[in-house]
Amino acid sequence: MLVAVVALAGYGATVRQGTQARTAFAAQIASLSEPNGYFDTDNLISNESSYLEVLSDLDRLNVRGGVYIGVGPDQNFSYIANIRPSLAFILDIRRDNLLLHLLFKAIFQQSRTRIEYLALLFGRPVPPDIDAWREVPVARLTQYITRARLDPASIDALHSRLEGVVKGFGVPLSTEDLQTIDRFHRRFIDLGLELKFQSAGRSPQYYYPTYENLLLATDRAGNQRNYLASEDAFQFVKGLQQRDRVIPVVGDLSGPSALAGIGRLLGEKGETLSAIYASNVEFYLDRQRSYPRFVGNLGRVPHTKRSVVIRSVFNRGFGGSVSETQSVEELLAQAAAAR
């Protein structure tokens, strides 16, 4: 079995250094996280078909580098691949999101290329010549995953392999946690590229994108910019993952310590925020009357004039989402003016 130390050794680390790195990763998660919260969805993938629309705005505003913060599953990786931060935090109220990102991290560690990542995520056989797939369009990758046959006999072995990698990260996990990670992975395997966002007790809305839709999505200029649309984008995210620079944290954006703690950490490191992806969480915070606490937390995160909030707005009248950006300074100024 290929374990975490092997991947780290490829970067010139010793076994002892690899263990220390994983312990530091786990310790940072523990120090920043709040108690588990509730949201009525597994949120394995985004329901925002518009998520790449804002990339043109980020290009225009030169939102690059710095530190990225985001909520939810792997749409964050597409923002990370385009912004190219030095450090990223995935902050979500649900512990399940932390567990999902540990699964993603394990698959990144075990994957040399995009096609191998997708094959392991969906439990499909890895093509024999993965180097031949490095430059192919993302649509070709989706065709392979759709047509590849499942090998049930190999699925249990894959789960055992990934569980060993996840345990190697040093994050304390209960038997229930490991079962949850296994259940999430089996959803990807069973539903394949037709997987959709799922809320508790409700069928997916007709306008929710499938995983394939998200892979093939474009920015406003018609460019495919999902993190799996190019080998370069994938390798950037993989590099951050292998250096433990994508840190999943359990916490509420309006909570007492997680976002504020990230802000303190950035201050200590002399780093500033490039972008915070809030999805449509602000809607729920406003409804719960906790939005001012979010604004207070955000104000404690070191930022610049180019720092932005990325949000999604849903209009049930026509279905689907609209994604937009706003400067952090503008948001804070509006809040200060009680607007």
Residue-range definition of the domain harbouring residue 183:
4-336
> DSSP letters of 255-320?
SSSHHHHHHHHHHHHT--EEEEEEETHHHHHHHTT-HHHHHHHHHTS-EEEEEEEEEEEE-TTT-S
Domain count, the chain: 1
Q: Find out whether 52 and 215 touch, Cβ atoms under 8 Å.
A: no
Condensed to tens digits (0 to 9), the pLDDT of residues 109-146 reads 999 999 999 999 999 999 999 999 999 999 999 999 99
What is the three-class DSSP state of 135? coil
Return the structure tokens found at 12. 């010139």
User: What Rg value do the Cα atoms of the chain yield, rounded?
Assistant: 19
What is the three-class DSSP state of 199? strand
What is the three-class DSSP state of 237? helix
CA distance 55 to 9: 35
Report pLDDT for 11.
Answer: 30
Give the number of other CB atoms < 10 A from CB of residue 302.
18
Place of tokens 């990758």: 141
* CA within 13 Å, CB half, 172: 6
Q: Find out whether 298 and 266 touch, Cβ atoms under 8 Å.
A: no
Return the structure tokens found at 97. 């999101």
Where are the strands (E) in the chain, listed by range?
Answer: 67-70, 87-92, 246-250, 273-279, 303-314, 321-327
Report pLDDT for 23.
Answer: 78
Report pLDDT for 21.
Answer: 54
Cα of 193 vs its chain's centroid, Å: 17
CA distance 250 to 241: 18
Output phi, psi for 249, to 5 deg: -130, 140
Among 160, 130, 150, CA closest to 1: 160
Among 310, 237, 327, CA closest to 46: 310
Q: Find out whether 26 and 4 touch, Cβ atoms under 8 Å.
A: no
Among 161, 157, 153, CA closest to 103: 161
Tally of residues, the chain: 339
Report pLDDT for 78.
Answer: 98
Q: In what order do the strands lie in the sheet with 246-250?
A: 246-250, 87-92, 67-70, 273-279, 303-314, 321-327
Among 219, 209, 222, 210, CA closest to 325: 219
Q: What is the mean pLDDT for each group of 10 consecutive residues in the chain (339 residues)? A: 32 41 87 88 89 96 97 97 98 97 98 98 95 96 95 91 97 97 97 87 77 96 97 98 98 97 98 97 92 97 97 74 94 88
